[in-house]
Amino acid sequence: MRTAISILCAAMLAACAVHQSPADQASQFQAEIDRVRIEFGFPGMIAACVLEDGTVGTAVSGLADAEANVLMTDNTRMLSASIGKSFVGALCIALALEGRLDLDEPISRWIDTFDWFQGLPNHESITLRHLLTHSAGIPDHVHMDSFADVFSKAWQETGNSFPPERLVAFVLDEPALFPAGHGWAYSDTGYILAGLVIEAVTKRPCFDLIQERFLVPLGLLDTTSADHRDLDRLAPGHMRPDNLFSFPVKTLDTAGRLHWHPAVEWTGGGLISTSRDLARWGAVLFAGRAMTGDYLSELLNAVAVTPDLTDVTYGAGVAVYSSGPFGPVYGHAGWVPGYVSSLRHYPEHGVTIAFQINTDTGIIDSDDDVLRIIEERLMQVFIGRKK
């Protein structure tokens, strides 16, 4: 049974251009989710919003399991993929504020004892900030043919065949994409290295720290590390038959276990969550309430993604869009085979919206920017019109 929507505002957002009741907003939010799901042909979709007064609302549409005809609920969880980078970035900043590490120190200070370190592109000059902002010049193992060839054969192995150091190995002795600090190229490998730095500094597992510092204190109890194949309340994801890694088209087997080990993401993503938790995380993170201290300046200390597009930048695990139809936007998208997620915060309006979809078909292989289209249509519910 579809979970009821809960958007109980005491007053309308000051920025709304169309005056409507909270019930009308709730109804429109649900209607837009339904329209989007049907229009793009998704099996199921969940969305959540956090308004300026802290009110949380959810909308659910379609099926969690299309084959078994199981409906989505607002407690259904999905792999949130690279949205997990925002937790890693926040953790690094927290450690920096405590004086336990320096974002601008070369990472050789902490991890040069690994026997492979000299083979890392730009190993002498990379800083932790370079890793967090994707400006280290390190290739991305996820999109290397060598990784795809190996992973497409090894994903059926029982355990996690790709611990962090094996992931880093794919980029060793490869040429740097550019000198560290003098360009931008998205790299999951860079975030794997950031995880190794965190664990070298703290002598603790990264996800234990994320749980202790963020998930538990902030009440994000539906969010956990995706470190095993049997994940509670995980919706099956759906893929094309000709997907990149030769996975089955449905992500879960008949026992409800992932076909591959999700720990392969590690600190490049590494979490399973609900849309409600993702929206709540974005709301507190970008409002400066996720931890003690004045951390937003470091979080949003961003570098340009391209030299000729300075209004699109990337900070510590967060994309920063300085202009758009609804003003500035902070957030992150996430893709892992079978699942796509989005987290967006609109600071001028105090609105945070997250959504998750249990397929990547028609999204990552589309000529259109499907996520951007959905993001704008959902935000339209709360703003009433574009600028």
Q: How far apart are CA 51 and CA 48, in angstroms?
A: 10
Is 384 exposed, middle or buried, given 0-12, 13-18 or 19+ CB atoms closer than 10 A? middle
> Residue 355 phi/psi, 5° resolution?
-145, 155
Q: Quick: pLDDT tens for 35-71.
A: 999 999 999 999 999 999 999 999 999 999 988 999 9
Owner of token pair 């089955």: 248
Q: What is the pLDDT of residue 292?
A: 94
- C-alpha dihedral sign at 361, 146, 119, 116: positive
What is the mean predicted confidence (pLDDT) over 96-123?
97
Confidence of residue 26 (pLDDT cuts 50, 70, 90): confident
Full 3-state SS string of the chain: CCCCCCCCCCCCCCCCCCCCCHHHHHHHHHHHHHHHHHHHCCCEEEEEEECCCCCEEEEEEEEEECCCCEECCCCCEEECHHHHHHHHHHHHHHHHHCCCCCCCCECHHHHCCCCCHHHCCCCCCCEHHHHHCCCCCCCCHHHCHHHHHHHHHHCCCCCCCCCHHHHHHCCCCCCCCCCCCCCCCCCHHHHHHHHHHHHHHHCCCHHHHHHHHHHCCCCCCCCEECCCCCCCCECCCECCCCCCCCCCCECECCCCCECCCHHHCHHHCCEEECHHHHHHHHHHHHCCCCCCCCCHHHHCCCEEEECCEEEEEECCCCEEECCCECECEEEEEEEECCEEEEEEEECCCCEEEEEEECECCCCCCCCCCHHHHHHHHHHHHHHCCCC
pLDDT at 384 over 70: no
Confidence of residue 14 (pLDDT cuts 50, 70, 90): very low
**The tokens of 257 are what?**
């276990």
Q: What is the pLDDT of residue 5?
A: 33
> Residue 165 phi/psi, 5° resolution?
-65, -30
Q: What is the pLDDT of residue 20?
A: 63
Confidence of residue 2 (pLDDT cuts 50, 70, 90): very low
pLDDT at 386 over 50: no
Q: What is the pTM of this model?
A: 0.93
- Which whole-number Å values give the CA distances from 246 to 81, 129, 144, 241, 273, in the listed order? 19, 35, 15, 8, 25
User: Strand pairing partners for 341?
Assistant: 334, 356
pLDDT at 19 over 70: no
Confidence of residue 7 (pLDDT cuts 50, 70, 90): very low
Q: What is the pLDDT of residue 231?
A: 98
Question: What domains can be seen in the chain, in order of their start residue?
Answer: 22-383 (3.40.710.10)
Confidence of residue 368 (pLDDT cuts 50, 70, 90): confident
**The tokens of 114 are what?**
């690994």
Confidence of residue 139 (pLDDT cuts 50, 70, 90): very high
